[in-house]
Amino acid sequence: MKNVYITKTAKFLPNRPVGNDEMEKRLGIINGKVSRAKNMVLRSNRIKTRYYAIDDNGNITHNNAQLTKKVVEHLCHDTLEPENIELLSCGTSSPDQILPSHAAMVHGLLKNGNMDIGTFSGACCSGMHALKYGYLSVKSGQTRNAVCTGSERTSSWLKSSVYEDEIRHLESLEENPILAFQKDFLRWMLSDGAGAFLLEDQPRGEISLKIEWMEGHSYAHETESCMYAGAEKLENGNLKPWSEYPSDQWSKKSIFAVKQDVKILEQHILKKGVDSMKISMNKHNLNPCDIDYYLPHISSYYFRERLYEEMKKQGVEIPWKNWFMNLEKVGNIGAASIYIMLEELMASGTLKKGDRILLSVPESARFSYAYALLTVC
């Protein structure tokens, strides 16, 4: 087995940062009424700016594949010719279409010759799954390099036009035409962007990050779905998929809108998260004091203090001084968040040889968690 190193990182954030006071204008006002949930959600998540692949006039500027192509080009600049990429491994929760796969669409835009590709879908952990596939490919000697990406273009799912038919349908039934909280909540949480890592079997340049190990955990056998799209949640907790609804119901029920059951979120996300982290740390004999930088992907600052308290409760407290986050500036970019967080840390100039970095990514879709330990070399 070979050693695997992250030798370069890159990010691509579309257009200019969007402040809280601009969000509703950019995404659109639903039924002519300002959102009742917006201010409450923004106070809780404490995100100040985010990025959308939508311009000031409401026009879409990039699809997901185009965002990912841009970040791969940034990654390869002055480092690796695109035609020398041996594996392209892409993770996202917001592909542009059901088929072809996201990685196939990115490869089609790159036009860089024959290579292996892999696509990982899901929610936030899909970016880590893409990284793990690249890690295992290089580690096993199947490839000498891999480009791994995490990307999201969720803004098009959050535009007011997505919900217009549902609102009109509610009005026709003489019901209150107000968007349900589980749909409105996520309009003020999610952002667009892409991140990428270059993996190689040898270090490169002044700083590389050796991947010591990667671990994943799923609690789907214990929990019902929490965040979902393309389905409706039934009273028994099961999901009824879009394919089982008549096509005229898809827009009337906003079936393809992304939704979240916030009650289940708070019930499980922290407890299962720290439980899974303990399992990974115990397996690899890693103590909290061994971690120099802790990079937790969290959707909202609401969970930051609560996560810390749960870590203390379960005996794996990592001191605040070792935490590194950029949620306030770039927002929650799902599968891309951990890539963009690590890119910013590497660019900060604070890393030194021997530092250990723990990546931590939760996924609330049905409560999955992914971890990676990196050593600066």
> 101-126, pLDDT tens digit by residue?
999 999 999 999 999 999 999 999 99
What is residue 171's predicted lDDT score, i.e. its pLDDT? 78
What is residue 166's predicted lDDT score, i.e. its pLDDT? 83
What is residue 236's predicted lDDT score, i.e. its pLDDT? 94
Report which DSSP code applies to 59. Answer: -
Report which DSSP code applies to 367. Answer: T
Residue type present at position 55: D
pLDDT digits (tens, 9 = 90+) for 300-321: 999 999 999 999 999 999 999 9
Number of H helices, E strands in the chain: 13, 15
Better-predicted residue by pLDDT, 362 or 33? 362
Better-predicted residue by pLDDT, 74 or 175? 74
| Span(s) in the chain for CATH 3.40.47.10 | 5-204, 211-219+259-376
> In 3-state terms, what secondary structure has residue 250?
helix
> In 3-state terms, what secondary structure has residue 164?
helix
Task: Characterize the bridge pairing of strands 87-92 and 116-121.
Answer: parallel
Average pLDDT along the chain: 95
**Fold of the CATH domain 5-204:** Peroxisomal Thiolase; Chain A, domain 1 (3.40.47)
Instruction: Give me the mean pLDDT over the 72-96 stretch.
Output: 97
Instruction: Give me the mean pLDDT over the 263-274 stretch.
Output: 95
**Fold of the CATH domain 211-219+259-376:** Peroxisomal Thiolase; Chain A, domain 1 (3.40.47)
What is residue 2's predicted lDDT score, i.e. its pLDDT? 98
Q: Quick check: 169 pLDDT over 90?
A: no
Q: Quick check: 165 pLDDT over 90?
A: no
pLDDT-derived band at 237, boundaries 50, 70, 90: very high
Q: Quick check: 172 pLDDT over 90?
A: no
Structure tokens belonging to residue 114: 């024959």
